[in-house]
Structure 1
Amino acid sequence: MTRWSHLALVPLLPQLLVATSVTDGETKPVQLHPRDDDEYSSPPFYPTPHGGWVSDWSDAYEKAYQVVSNMTLAEKVNLTTGTGFFMGPCVGQTGSAPRFGIPNLCLQDSPLGIRETDHITAFPPGLTVGATFNKELMYNRGVGIGEEARGKGVNVQLGPVVGPIGRKPRGGRNWEGFGADPTLQAIGGAETIKGMQSTGAIASLKHFIGYEQEMYRMSSIITKGYSSNIDDRTLHELYLWPFAEGVRAGVGSIMTAYNDVNSSACSQNSKLLNDILKDELGFQGFVMTDWLGHYSGVGSALAGLDMAMPGDGSVPLFGDSYWAYDLSRSILNGSVPLDRLNDMVTRIVATWYKFGQDADYPLPNFSSNTDAATGELYPGALFSPTGVVNQFINVEGDHNITARAVAREAITLLKNEDSILPLSSNDSLKVFGTDAGPNTGGLNSCTDQGCDNGVLTMGWGSGSASLPYLITPQEAIANVSQNCTFYITDSFPSSVTASADDIAIVFINADSGENSITVDGNPGDRLVAGLNAWHNGDDLVKAAAEKFSNVVVVIHTVGQIVMEEWIELDSVKAVLVAHLPGQEAGDSLVDILFGDYSPSGHMPYTIPKSESDYPDSVSIIDQPFGQIQDTFTEGLYIDYRHFLQANITPRYPFGHGLSYTTFNFSSPSMSVVTAIDSTYPPARPSQGATPKYNDSIPNPSEVAWSSTSFTRIWRYLYPYLDDPQSITASNTYPYPDGYNTTQKPGVRAGGGQGGNPALYDIAFSIDVTVTNTGSRKGKAVAQLYVELPSSLGLDTPSRQLRQFEKTEELAAGQSQTLTLEITRKDLSVWDVVVQDWMAPVDGEGVNIWIGQSVADLPVLCSVGTGCSVS
């Protein structure tokens, strides 16, 4: 079977549009102004900061230095460039350096499990994980994914996802991330990274940055990907926030997005990669492209890119590359300084050492190209050697337990009139909808889950994985219920009769995915479907509501759906959003439906009453000709921030989620941990030393084909040249504006992984007691929102989620005291002129709200006046 990966054949204030340049060590503001009415520019920042100055990475960098200082040019180039599409077992692999024990590094999807292989766990995707608001489950799921990656021999597992953040409700890949809030994304991403990397697998945090739409995302020889035009403050306070936390968690790799940001492609945007990511955030790992998101050779290297995937140039399977042999050429002619290549390779090798992959880490034992035991080793070649490609290693372990717990704790109860839920096993049930049943074509019959057939377990595309098994809701309900009839159809049967005691359970869904596949006319983004239920789901609910006096609606969805046609009908008594449950769809739902557990999920996004409730700027842009200029004019005001600012009442607010029991918040108290005694953080720590190499242009013989003794594989990407001795150095290369090779002292907002370490000092600690005041056991979530004072002089959202904690399962009458800690950064805004984080001294004027949703916040702690409960 052939498989493709990652491939698709508030008006802005002038002061917000400021970035910086550094000249002779002096920081000066530079306008990120429009070149035309709708075109933004991204200022240059060169050279790439060297890695290795963070103490946590010093041992790994020392080991890497000992290796890289002895590498040939060919070995260095080999590790930076993928070997090409279908040129190995994984969706991508680098070349190797066997003299030093470094194999081809295997890179594999996806953020919810090991894609395109067998005997793995298909975990619930990120959006479902976010809905749990449970940090322990976020971490445990990360451990499970990491263990399975290691077991399959995957060096770099491509996840988690924190971009897109869900700016566009119709966005195709919103379900891969953790929710429409930077803090929810940040915590979900960081906990996942820590879990994954505890196993030795390297996480790849993606997609950096501004990747909020599927359509027109990629540049090619005939098209130009859209430009996400983002002002400096919005970039820092929304879209960069979860990436900063991922870097702080020690992520080993970051994947760039396909699109441009401010008219410069993410994979070659020196402002983003050199300045913000590697300097300000202190990222020590390596930056890689998305598949075919590599658009230039010299330019991308100078801008801070470290690894090209899958290695091919603009057209795959031609044996062409922007790097590989051309990178060797660029080193020999001096257009790319050897200093840059040395840093690229050192970052890759140091990351390999950092996570212990030099010590008995498995080689790949699977093939993403075929399900057969034997096959071509390099299917992209016209003639390929063959061998054993799949060993069918089972890496599932007991990860189904975590997968079921995540799916269960994510289920969000939106409505439960007359306490119709939970159900009893002897209730008379009638179940409707194909979403309750199996895929009629068979399990995994649609490539990369590219169809909406049967229960929706995940979206489609490279963020998916094959289901090892699936117990559908139909099967799970039948295993529990003593009196249930199933109508696995999306057209309400006219012959159905209803008695007063009958309860109808109606299953509906809404799907989306990657732009590489179109499903029911939707090219990734929900272009045709909009925010409506698929397969006439609204009509199915209304028909059931007309016939039955008790209706329960179960929704599997990638994001927001509009419910206004039926949500207030008298007979629609309960609504459960089960999000995307992965392989444990049926059992996790039955756990909640029949009351073995109380629902404890909370909405990771706002549910509107109408799509028109959103600003026009967050609509999908369908413009087939010319580069799309997607200007983020709404600024900070996405999702609940927008609804609060515009004073629009949603159908269900961000964070909303009911339980079968009730909870009370009491006895709040707040203490100062680290005083905020200045507007800006203290000066960044001094930067540690970085590796020093001989940066003379190497001997051309190091990349000469004549020096090799192996048989070439056609289309495989090698670092070698036929006549490297003929290449001479030149000083006439047309370098980009602002290019230089002198290392800078470091921007003021940096100083550690994630930025200045002082930003992460705990400023305040708040204790609150949560009591189960109902009659059933259950878990509660305490969500903490910050309201910043007007004294900061900037327009700021009235509520911003900054922390959350979930209780253990509390019995009726039981209490638990939760501690929620917020940092200096949590109380800061980005000063676009000073280029640093600005906070109110002593937290003066800050209000801290705690409750169960953004619209239900009974606890108020005001700095200086104490806490109260309304």
Structure 2
Amino acid sequence: MRIIPHHLPTRTTAALLAATTVLLGSTPAIAQHTAGTDPVDCSPWMTPTVTPEERADRVIAEMTREEKSAVITGMAAYLQGWGPEFAGRTHGVERLCLPPVKFTDGPAGIGNGASGITQFPSHLNLGATFDPGLAQDYAAAIATEARGKGANAVAGPAIDIARDPRWGRFFESPGEDPLLVGDLGAAEVTGTRSAGIMGVAKHLGAYTRENGRNTDASDVTVDEKTLQEIYLKPFGRVADAGVSSVMCSYSQLSGTKNCNNSYLMNQVLRGQYGFDGFTVSDWYGQHNTVASANAGLDMQMPDSCFYSDHLWSTVDSGAVSGDRVDTMVHNVLAEMFRSGVVDSPPTGTQDAVVTGPGHRELARDIAAKSMVLLRNDTVPTDSGEHPVLPVDDSVHTIGLIGSGAGRDALGSGGGSGHVIADDIVTPFEGLYSRGAGNGTEVHYTDGNYLPTVRQLAENSDLVVVVMHRHITESVDNTDFRFGLHQRNIIRTALEANNRVVLVTNTGGPVDLDGYGDDVPAVLAAFYPGQEYGDALADIIFGDVNPSGHLPVTWPLSQDQMPTTSSFGSGAFTEGTGVGYRGYQWQSITPRWWFGHGLSYTTFTTDDVRTTGPNSVTATVTNTGDRHGDTVVQAYAVRDGIRELAGYSRVGIAPGDTVDVDITIPDSALARWDEDARQLVVPGGPVEVIVSDSAGGDGPSTTLMTTQSVFGAPVPEAPTWATVGNGDPAQEQEDRMACKNSASMAGFIGMASYFGMPQKEQAWTPVTDNP
């Protein structure tokens, strides 16, 4: 047994932070005398009955240049990568009763090394639930914990498209389909707002690689049709849902840095989507002052150089207008008023314990509902033919194999989306505890010694092999296979026993080429959070009927993907053929299609009919002997290619038949019209197939559509907008004035080539003991 030491995070500034939180806990009508200024009557903009926009205008009229910069810049010091609180914070303006914006990383729980929080399942797990209602609960719980820690902004939802499993942040995406990603992201926005804090959707736009990020090597070539139909659609959905902020990414589009990109921020985000919140740079993702300001970037994070004194020098020179700066400040302040973080600021502290039984139960529920049963063959045993899962009366002993079931259990991926649990329930702990409840013995080996693996497998009624694979922000992977020794463990177990379950504890699909066809049962756990072991036991023992469905396509092998050759090049040669779309176009059959997921019961679908201009109804029957959830999926067929047009997760009792209504939004049918500069719904008949995956069989109906436009057209760039990265001489001047920001930006780019070390999964030491 090896115990991994863990250390609680230091709290060197606890007293100062607590004092700050107390100060900002209530906002006085009259601000206190500060730094030689006279007291100010804040009541004109502290009246909730006045619109957020008017409140912002009123306070801006009273602000000095320095105070305006305090609203749109971070406080990170020289060579400080984050901070000084959480992921970062603005200065705030005490004189004018304006609190700072305090960000915490939060796609899957409170990050930044916090303790006393819940480590929720990853966004990929959330995608596998196909459940916007659950996504809303997920985000509300995370936002509540953030508020309890004193933060008023969460860096989430992450709504990037999962393009290739080699991406280091693959697990942070809800999936490969823009409809699913957008639906879940919009639900998360609602959940975050319900807690009275701000959410930050990320990362605009077409951000799908780590290597070379934040440098010229991150440049990608994506045609506008692909941008509009795949990568930008989820941002339109969260804008409609009222997201507070959008973060520009580390990547570049056709040579233009995304935090300098007027097309993305001015024309699409605000012009096409009507976004009215504020934009913020990814941490050190801003490279200059003039181009960023004129491209629509409102806030610099986590430091201040570009948008403090240097910004005002460019205003004085005429390179940036004073009105543009006021608009940047207005966008931030109006959203602060709109979200309630000024009138009802969080009163929590960073040392607060904000997790609890309710959130742990939610994490367990999401983990169980997101695990995808990919295969579950029937195999011969001493007591007859049995499906490998769930555990039944023929199973008296379980052989649990793999360090991923013990000390190497992964509840979270790495990077800014990493969350450290106070403690994590390992698969060994979960299965051992559940087995003790009904007399099922669970024996464990970490798998280091193959003869021990063989012996344990031979002497067990059921073998559960748990294999883990850690991926992280900051570096891409050359492959997505298990290591050689891990593959040998799997092969050894298969040679010794025909009733084997492979549990993949990974940040996405795994290349199972060479042995995958021989594994009779495969369960994808992804990164299921701190309740991993109990949720896994729920599925293995059948206490919960598996209901997760793949939010991404699972390749047959690494050499068989639409992006196999293009991933590292920066050229998105697959165009809109992302994920399952590309497999269809290239006539490739993957190992498992997007949407695939098995259950311990069975379902049939028939009598699909059109029930409205944007809806179809299917009759679904549970033909098995136990209650189960399924995801009924509707695919529009155009040019011979299926595309997800709608879905509904539904629970059905054994023997029952229900009618399932599926709404098909215009956004799912809209195509990019280059001439109209707009998304357009083509008119005419559209075949809709209702199936259990993108490649499955199913009945169909015909939806009659009327040609119409979807949303607003993309407007021309504002007259004051910078084209591309602007004047090279001006960019060089900006960088020279802000050497610290430039050096930190370079460090982020350099780190993408060697990665960052894996962090702890839990503050309580993870061991191999139950």
Decide: shared fold, TM above 0.5.
yes
Equivalent of 2:515 in 551, 562, 566: 566
Equivalent of 2:147 in 147, 150, 155: 150
Equivalent of 2:602 in 662, 683, 687: 662
> Are the counterparts in 1 of residues 182 and 234 from structure 2 also a CA contact under 8 Å?
yes
Equivalent of 1:860 in 682, 686, 700: 700
Residue 55 of structure 2 aligns to a residue whose secondary structure is: helix
For each residue in 1:671-705, what CA deviation from the matched residue of structure 2 results, as whole angstroms up to 9, or x when unmatched?
33xxxxxxxxxxxxxxxxxxxxxxxxxxxxxxxxx
Q: Does 1:585 align with 2:538?
A: no
Aligned equivalents of 1:253 and 1:615: distance in 2?
32
Query: What's the offset of the Cα at 1:661?
Result: 0.2
> Are the counterparts in 2 of residues 267 and 293 from structure 1 also a CA contact under 8 Å?
yes
Who is 1:643 aligned against?
583
Q: What are the residue-to-residue correspondences of 1:350-369 with 2, within 5 Å? A: 350-363=334-347, 365-366=349-350
> Are the counterparts in 1 of residues 566 and 573 from structure 2 also a CA contact under 8 Å?
no
Q: Does 1:91 align with 2:75?
A: no
Aligned equivalents of 2:702 and 2:471: distance in 1?
42
Query: What's the offset of the Cα at 1:87?
Result: 5.4
Who is 2:329 aligned against?
345
Equivalent of 1:496 in 455, 472, 493: 455
> Are the counterparts in 2 of residues 151 and 395 from structure 1 also a CA contact under 8 Å?
no
Query: What's the offset of the Cα at 1:813?
Result: 0.9
Q: What are the residue-to-residue correspondences of 1:203-218 with 2, within 5 Å? A: 203-218=199-214
User: TM-score scaled to structure 1, two decimals?
Assistant: 0.71
Equivalent of 1:123 in 120, 123, 131: 120
State the Cα RMSD in Å: 2.1
Residue 56 of structure 2 aligns to a residue whose secondary structure is: helix
Equivalent of 1:81 in 73, 79, 88: 73
Change (3 A) 1:176 1:499: closer
Who is 2:316 aligned against?
332
> Are the counterparts in 2 of residues 114 and 148 from structure 1 also a CA contact under 8 Å?
yes
For each residue in 1:584-615, what CA deviation from the matched residue of structure 2 results, as whole angstroms up to 9, or x when unmatched?
10011111100111100011111112212124
Aligned equivalents of 1:499 and 1:464: distance in 2?
38
Q: Does 1:67 align with 2:63?
A: no
Query: What's the offset of the Cα at 1:125?
Result: 1.0
> Are the counterparts in 1 of residues 179 and 668 from structure 2 also a CA contact under 8 Å?
no
Who is 2:623 aligned against?
773
> Are the counterparts in 2 of residues 617 and 631 from structure 1 also a CA contact under 8 Å?
no
For each residue in 1:75-133, what CA deviation from the matched residue of structure 2 results, as whole angstroms up to 9, or x when unmatched?
11110111123553222111211122111210111211111211111111100000111
Q: What are the residue-to-residue correspondences of 1:143-542 with 2, within 5 Å? A: 143-163=140-160, 165-219=161-215, 224-312=216-304, 321-363=305-347, 365-366=349-350, 391-396=351-356, 398-418=358-378, 419-424=387-392, 427-438=396-407, 454-481=408-435, 482-494=440-452, 496=455, 499=458, 502-515=461-474, 524-527=475-478, 530-534=479-483, 536-542=485-491
For each residue in 1:237-269, what CA deviation from the matched residue of structure 2 results, as whole angstroms up to 9, or x when unmatched?
000011111111110000010111111000011
Change (3 A) 1:534 1:134: farther
Q: Which amino acid aligns with 1:423?
A: V
Who is 1:839 aligned against?
681
Change (3 A) 1:561 1:393: closer
Change (3 A) 1:270 1:414: same
For each residue in 1:142-181, what CA deviation from the matched residue of structure 2 results, as whole angstroms up to 9, or x when unmatched?
1101111111121110011112x12222000011010111
User: TM-score scaled to structure 2, two decimals?
Assistant: 0.80
> Are the counterparts in 1 of residues 562 and 577 from structure 2 also a CA contact under 8 Å?
no
> Are the counterparts in 1 of residues 88 and 104 from structure 2 also a CA contact under 8 Å?
yes
Change (3 A) 1:137 1:618: farther
Aligned equivalents of 2:156 and 2:605: distance in 1?
36
The runs of 4+ residues in structure 1 deviating greater than 4 Å are 497-501, 616-620
> Are the counterparts in 2 of residues 160 and 204 from structure 1 also a CA contact under 8 Å?
yes
Aligned equivalents of 1:497 and 1:472: distance in 2?
19
Change (3 A) 1:606 1:112: same
Q: Which amino acid aligns with 2:234?
A: P
Residue 780 of structure 1 aligns to a residue whose secondary structure is: strand
Q: Which amino acid aligns with 2:249?
A: A
Query: What's the offset of the Cα at 1:851?
Result: 1.6
> Are the counterparts in 1 of residues 214 and 285 from structure 2 also a CA contact under 8 Å?
yes
Aligned equivalents of 1:195 and 1:269: distance in 2?
29
Query: What's the offset of the Cα at 1:497?
Result: 5.3
Q: Does 1:806 align with 2:669?
A: no
Aligned equivalents of 1:121 and 1:507: distance in 2?
23
Residue 508 of structure 2 aligns to a residue whose secondary structure is: coil
Query: What's the offset of the Cα at 1:562?
Result: 1.5
Aligned equivalents of 2:693 and 2:83: distance in 1?
49
Residue 530 of structure 2 aligns to a residue whose secondary structure is: helix
Aligned equivalents of 1:177 and 1:214: distance in 2?
14
Q: Which amino acid aligns with 1:227?
A: D
Aligned equivalents of 1:632 and 1:2: distance in 2?
44
> Are the counterparts in 2 of residues 153 and 364 from structure 1 also a CA contact under 8 Å?
yes
Aligned equivalents of 2:274 and 2:499: distance in 1?
56
Change (3 A) 1:265 1:576: same
Aligned equivalents of 1:58 and 1:636: distance in 2?
45
**Structure whose residues are more often helix by fraction:** 2
For each residue in 1:314-348, what CA deviation from the matched residue of structure 2 results, as whole angstroms up to 9, or x when unmatched?
xxxxxxx1221212323334332111111111110
Aligned equivalents of 2:92 and 2:122: distance in 1?
32
**Structure 1: unaligned runs, 5 residues or longer:** 4-56, 313-320, 367-390, 439-453, 516-523, 622-628, 673-762, 791-796, 866-870
Who is 1:521 aligned against?
none
Aligned equivalents of 2:287 and 2:333: distance in 1?
24
Q: Does 1:815 align with 2:657?
A: yes
Percent identity reads 33
Aligned equivalents of 1:397 and 1:335: distance in 2?
55
Aligned equivalents of 1:618 and 1:59: distance in 2?
52
Change (3 A) 1:641 1:500: same
Who is 1:597 aligned against?
544
Aligned equivalents of 2:355 and 2:61: distance in 1?
37
Aligned equivalents of 1:540 and 1:58: distance in 2?
66
Query: What's the offset of the Cα at 1:553?
Result: 0.9
Who is 2:756 aligned against?
none
The size of the alignment, in residue pairs, is 642
Who is 1:34 aligned against?
none
Residue 539 of structure 2 aligns to a residue whose secondary structure is: helix
> Are the counterparts in 1 of residues 281 and 300 from structure 2 also a CA contact under 8 Å?
yes
Name whichever of 823-832 and 295-304 sits farther off: 823-832
Aligned equivalents of 1:597 and 1:562: distance in 2?
27
Equivalent of 2:129 in 132, 135, 141: 132
Residue 863 of structure 1 aligns to a residue whose secondary structure is: strand
Query: What's the offset of the Cα at 1:567?
Result: 2.2
> Are the counterparts in 1 of residues 608 and 690 from structure 2 also a CA contact under 8 Å?
no
Change (3 A) 1:620 1:846: closer
Residue 776 of structure 1 aligns to a residue whose secondary structure is: coil
Change (3 A) 1:182 1:616: closer
Query: What's the offset of the Cα at 1:490?
Result: 4.4
Aligned equivalents of 1:859 and 1:490: distance in 2?
49
